[in-house]
Amino acid sequence: MNDAGQLADAMKRASKSKKIAVDTEADSRHHFPEKVCLVQVAAKDSAYLIDSLAPLDFTAFGKLLADQKIEKVFHGSDFDVRGLNRDWGFTVASLYDTNVAARFAGLERFGLAALIEDLLGIVIPKDQRLQRADWSRRPLSDEALEYAAGDVVHLVDVRDSLDTRLKKLKRDKWAAEEFKRLEDIRYSAPDPETAFLSVKGSHVLDGKGLAILKFLHELRETEARRLNRPTAFVISAEALVYLAGHPDASLEEVPGLGHVTAQRIGGRIKRALKDGKDARPFMRPRSEEPIRPRPTSLQMSRLNKLKKWRVGLGGELALDPSLLWPMRSLERLARDPATLDQEYESSDVRRWQRAEYGRELEKLLA
């Protein structure tokens, strides 16, 4: 829908439901910067496909997402919550994530199509062509719209089935704490001064290489915005890192650069290389984590003991061990068992983990 009246009617209907399913489709495979192109909402027996590129007032949708009385069911909500916050500033209250619920229920398959099949007995064909579609194109085909609706029409039923399992296993409160954490997700724009450090492979570069990479990264971002194409289509990460590490190499020698790209923006690449070479070496920001000496044999033995405990617990519960206690916390405890009280207050450790397994850890570390 791309009509103001239809949108208002859809939001009014959805607001009368206790639970609604929500999903979004974006265009990150095709454009830069990415944007939410379609919003799918299912409430009771109706599904609404909202054209988020249409010049409409989406305030009512934002209020619906923020309504504490209405549960919003997502599958793999991190991407959706971040995109909704980035494009409109919306936040989500009373969130339920079926991907997270499936993991806590001990299921082996977490994908939405797999859950619909395993829990509801309904087979939803997944077309990779549509998964990779450019959702910013208009008009969208009936096939694409049907595919998009398929992501929400069964989601509440999947949620109900999973919730029954979680309550039977007495893990519903575990999952609920994870859902609350997902509600707190906000979009944070990359810092332009340090965004280039996230380029894959940049860890191999020294200060001079990083200074060059910074200018190359700025060039790539500018060109990607100009072309409205993903950054990887402009210059690959492999090519960026190679250029930064070999600034005097011929462009024809750069792996992953491509003849067409070298011809089209070769002059600008050379200018970025020169500017980078003339700049002061870039010093990586210090990690907030303190530099620690290599663990002693006693500390390694303790860590292995903690890992074995976590793996064993996961086996008993048929759960991914990583859900039961964070590895970073175990590594810190292996170095200093006396810091368990501090770990209880760490943002890494969940309240339910502390309540369920804190005493076991105390005994293990004694």
Q: What is the pLDDT of residues 204-249, one digit of tens each?
A: 999 999 999 999 999 999 999 999 999 999 999 999 999 999 999 9
Percentage of the chain with pLDDT > 90? 93
185: pLDDT strictly greater than 80: yes
- Give the residue among 103, 122, 101 at the shortest CA–CA distance from 113: 122
CA angle 124, 125, 126 (to 5 degrees): 110
Q: What is the DSSP letter of 72?
A: E
- CA torsion 194→198→203→208, rounded to 10°? -40
State both tokens at 294: 């290599």
Count CB-CB contacts under 10 A for residue 260: 8
Residue 290 CA, distance from chain mean position: 27
- Give the residue among 67, 73, 118 at the shortest CA–CA distance from 99: 73
pLDDT band at 48 (very low <50, low <70, confident <90, very high): very high
The pLDDT score that the predictor gives to residue 141 is 94
Question: What mean pLDDT is predicted for residues 298-319?
Answer: 97
272 or 124, which is more confident: 272
The pLDDT score that the predictor gives to residue 80 is 98
Give the three-state DSSP class for 26.
strand
- Give the residue among 37, 44, 48, 45 at the shortest CA–CA distance from 11: 48
Where does 297-365 sit in CATH, by number? 1.10.150
The pLDDT score that the predictor gives to residue 291 is 75
Question: What mean pLDDT is predicted for residues 301-323?
Answer: 97
> What is the C-alpha separation between 107 and 162, in angstroms, rounded?
10
Where does 4-183 sit in CATH, by number? 3.30.420.10
The pLDDT score that the predictor gives to residue 231 is 96
- Give the residue among 135, 58, 62 at the shortest CA–CA distance from 92: 62
> What is the C-alpha separation between 243 and 122, in angstroms, rounded?
50
> What is the C-alpha separation between 164 and 34, in angstroms, rounded?
37
288: pLDDT strictly greater than 90: no
State both tokens at 139: 């008009």
> How far is the CA of 20 from the CAs of 10, 16, 160, 167, 208, in angstroms?
12, 10, 12, 20, 52
Residue 311 CA, distance from chain mean position: 25
Contact 25, 19 (CB under 8 A): no
Parse the chain into domains and list their residue ranges: 4-183, 195-278, 297-365
Question: What mean pLDDT is predicted for residues 274-284?
Answer: 96
β-pairing, 71-74 with 19-26? parallel
289: pLDDT strictly greater than 80: no
Contact 319, 347 (CB under 8 A): no
The pLDDT score that the predictor gives to residue 222 is 97
> What's the pTM?
0.92
Count CB-CB contacts under 10 A for residue 244: 28
Q: Are both 4-183 and 297-365 of the same fold? A: no
The pLDDT score that the predictor gives to residue 292 is 80
> What is the C-alpha separation between 78 and 245, in angstroms, rounded?
35
Backbone angles phi, psi at 25, to 5 degrees: -125, 135
Question: What mean pLDDT is predicted for residues 58-83?
Answer: 98
Where does 195-278 sit in CATH, by number? 1.10.150.80
Backbone angles phi, psi at 83, to 5 degrees: -65, -40
Give the three-state DSSP class for 244.
helix
| Average pLDDT value over all residues in the chain | 96
